[in-house]
Structure 1
Amino acid sequence: YQLPALMSSCRICTLSTLPIELHGPGSAGQTEYSKEFCPKLHAEGMFVPHWPEAFGGLGGNSWDHFILGEELWAVGEPRGPQYMNVNWIGPVLMRYGSPEQQERFLPEMREGKVTWCQGFSEPSAGSDLAALRTHAEPVEGGYRVTGAKVWTSYAGLGDYCFLLARTSSDRKGGIVILLVDMTSPGIQVKDIPSVIGRGDIHEVFFDDVFVPADRLLGEIGQAWEIINFGLANERIGIPRYAFSERMVHRAVERLKTDGRYNDPVIQDRLGRVLALCQAARLLVYKVIDERAKGKEPNAYGNLARWSVVRADQAVNDFMTEFMPDGLLGADPMQTAHHQRAIAAGIASGAAEIQLNLAARRHLNLPGDK
């Protein structure tokens, strides 16, 4: 297939179908819309072109997937929560899942018919993921899970949860990954009210939830390896800068219309935020290029993640300072970008933690004592 033609088709399909009111980052409306939109992408061969042909993809590479992701994020990400399926949950299952798990879960993912959430963060284990306490007690036929997760995106509408729990006190070796049906008895989901949108984040409580043994992903003791593989895909799997750059161009159009574009202060600030968007793009491209060449993840993924956050927040600061009325109902897309920018430094791993990781992995500085 030809990528330029694929991009053009994706752009036409997206712009002709995405309702502007669904640009928010986690509403029930956006999630439901994704179950209409993603099957359309699948029918056109545009949903998982980077997946191997053996798993229903087109055998493309990381570039194919990521450039399409830019097109979709530039209009607010109509895949909704399903971006996680194609970015990292699906690839994790392809690499570490059993044949039965692959047959059970991958078809629904590639067809755009299912929503997953990730059960990672806990009240006492956010950035320090290895401190998680949710317990999975081995029992006959599987596990009994008890514990709580917090800041879980899409849990209220999720079909399945990619859940981290522990079977022992071994900090990393005691962690297991369970593929949990969210309709299982004993699961309770509560919305967390927030300024970033409607229904995006939740608390999830597990009260003696039974998970069958065949829902254990990977081997005992392999969970930390799997987590790192998944996070390497997740951290730069969201091209937020594409949405931010689009907002910069919308700002230029409006400033020209308002007669403010020639203000030297505004032009200086515009140049700075656009430069941050381009810097984020180039760092992410470096990571994608290394991935396409089969290289192992390294500190550039952390640096790229930090640069994406800086670009997102700088554009949001500019828009808020010079176009505040856009947040009062004048521009739904600006409101959506504002909500996403607030969450950018926390979602997919706190930005400050990425700096710590880059310091150790890229600059070879000592860790905290």
Structure 2
Amino acid sequence: MELPERFRDEVRAWLRDNWTPGLEREEWNARLYEAGWICASWPVEYGGRGLTTLESVALAEEFARAGAPMRADWFGDTLVGPTILRWGTEEQKEFFIPKILRGEITWCQGFSEPEAGSDLASLRTRAVADGDEWVIDGHKIWTTRAQDADYVFLLARTDPDAPKHRGISYLLVPMRQNGVEVRPIEQLDGAGDFCEVFFTGARTRREWVVGGVNNGWKVAMTTLGFERGTSATTGHRRFEKELAQIIELARSTGTSGDPLVRQRLARQWSKIQIMRFNGLRTLSDTLRGTKDAAALGPLAKIWWSETHRETMDLAMDILGPDGQILTGQAAAAEWVPGYGMRHGREDYPASVLQRAFLFSPSDTIGGGTAEIQRNIVAERVLGLPRS
């Protein structure tokens, strides 16, 4: 396959002319849309540029190298949008896809429930047909940015008598209606971007089932595949930048000369390089059509999440007692790499590094716990008996 060097040069030139750190989000999104960079891998007939896999990789790499954000709404651009393109009806595509591209609507994901996290198929939220609508009752949790979303793509049980994986449907539901209550969950750093969402007689259109009634499990696996496979060659970059800051921190605190600290820094650097090489392997497998998602997805999730948690532990060890001193801005909204904009508390001004440390244990939980990922590898890859 031809390497997209001419295309890469085009992207670099556009970024030089258009990207400035600190540019207002609305202005930046408008420039992205006008240039066709939002969802550029989507088919031309649906508003994308029809980029090849290698062109999409080049685009992501050049944006990452410039430090420029690519997405207007990650849940819409990367998760539900491609899912609608893969499974949706023409009517669903005509209604939702242009609005996603233009940034007119925002989304959240309604999968996890208090009793259905890692065992997602045990979900209890129900949707019952009522004329031209579905009536939804249930409780979702850890729903990121639900307080700002216009729509939620959620899983609900539509056939309580079917086996648990087969009686689930994938619904598109308006958030701004009676019957939907959002309660932010305050985290350790004071941010409340995770939410609980309660559905009590909420309604959505009968035709807004993606992929057909009772086929939601298969559709959801497609969405999760998009979630875990969008940054194969760029995902390591934020960890590299973060570690570079921690190395400078070690130099400034005088701990860089400590043999144990140096050894730990070198170990984390090596693990991040392994992330990079595994990303290239994933890309090669994708281009050859040999990608083994059953193995690569869980292994990558285990590796990056546990590596990041170890790196954040190391950062706090380097700071020592100073790590207990809150050095951030009171109630400031700050961009934390990998976690987005975090809105802190007036009485708990954690720094960006401290916020990343406080949030890092959740990396091994969200998107499938490390324990569950190991079980998947053991059973589906190694062929070991079910536990």
TM-score, normalisation: structure 2: 0.82
Cα RMSD for the two superposed structures: 2.8
8 A contact 1:283–1:303 mirrored in 2: no
Distance 1:230 1:289, change over 3 A: farther
1:81 CA drift (Å): 7.8
* Whole-angstrom CA distance in 2 between matches of 1:71 and 1:267: 31
Residue correspondence of structure 1 range 276-295 to structure 2 within 5 A = 276-295=271-290
* Residues 193/258 of structure 1: CA separation in 2 closer, same or farther (3 Å cut): closer
Is 2:84 aligned against 1:93? yes
**Cα shift at 1:188:** 0.5
Contact 1:276 1:310 in 2 (8 A): no
Query: Partners in 2 of 1:159 and 1:140 — Cα distance?
Result: 24
Question: Does 1 or 2 have the higher relative contact order (CA < 8 Å, sep 6+)?
Answer: 1
2:315 paired residue among 319, 322, 326: 319
1:93 Cα deviation from its structure 2 partner: 0.7
Deviates more, 1:240-249 or 1:40-49: 40-49
Structure 1 gaps, min length 5: 19-32
The 1:68/1:337 distance shift into structure 2, 3 A limit, reads farther
Shift of 1:237: 3.3
CA distance in 2, matches of 1:153, 1:75: 27
Superposition deviation, residue 294 in structure 1: 4.4
After superposition, residues 138-217 of structure 1 pair within 5 angstroms as 138-169=129-160, 170=162, 171-195=164-188, 198-217=191-210
1:231 Cα shift? 0.8
Residue 49 in structure 1 maps to residue 2 in structure 2:
no
- Answer yes or no: is 1:2 the counterpart of 2:10: no
2: CA distance between counterparts of 1:255 and 1:334?
Answer: 14
Structure (1 or 2) with the larger CA radius of gyration: 2
Question: Matched residue of 1:203: which SS?
Answer: strand
Question: What is the number of residues matched between the two proteins?
Answer: 354
For 1:353, the equivalent position in structure 2 comes to 372
| Equivalent residue letter for 2:243 | V
Normalized against structure 1, the TM-score is what? 0.85
When structure 1 is superposed on structure 2, of 82-91 and 174-183 the one drifting more is 82-91
* Identity between Structure 1 and Structure 2 (%): 31
CA 1:123–1:315 in structure 2 vs 1: closer, same or farther (change >3 Å)? Answer: same
- Provide structure 2 residue ranges, at least 5 long, that are not aligned to the other structure: 1-5, 329-349
CA distances 1:292-340 after superposition (whole Å, capped 9, x unpaired): 4445633211111111112211211111111354672269442343344
Amino acid at match of 2:213: I
Structure 1 segment 1-369 matched on structure 2, within 5 A: 2-6=7-11, 9-10=14-15, 16-17=21-22, 34-66=25-57, 68-69=59-60, 78=69, 82-169=73-160, 170=162, 171-195=164-188, 198-237=191-230, 240-295=235-290, 297-323=293-319, 325=322, 328-329=326-327, 332-368=351-387
Secondary structure of residue in 1 paired with 2:263:
helix
When structure 1 is superposed on structure 2, of 338-347 and 263-272 the one drifting more is 338-347
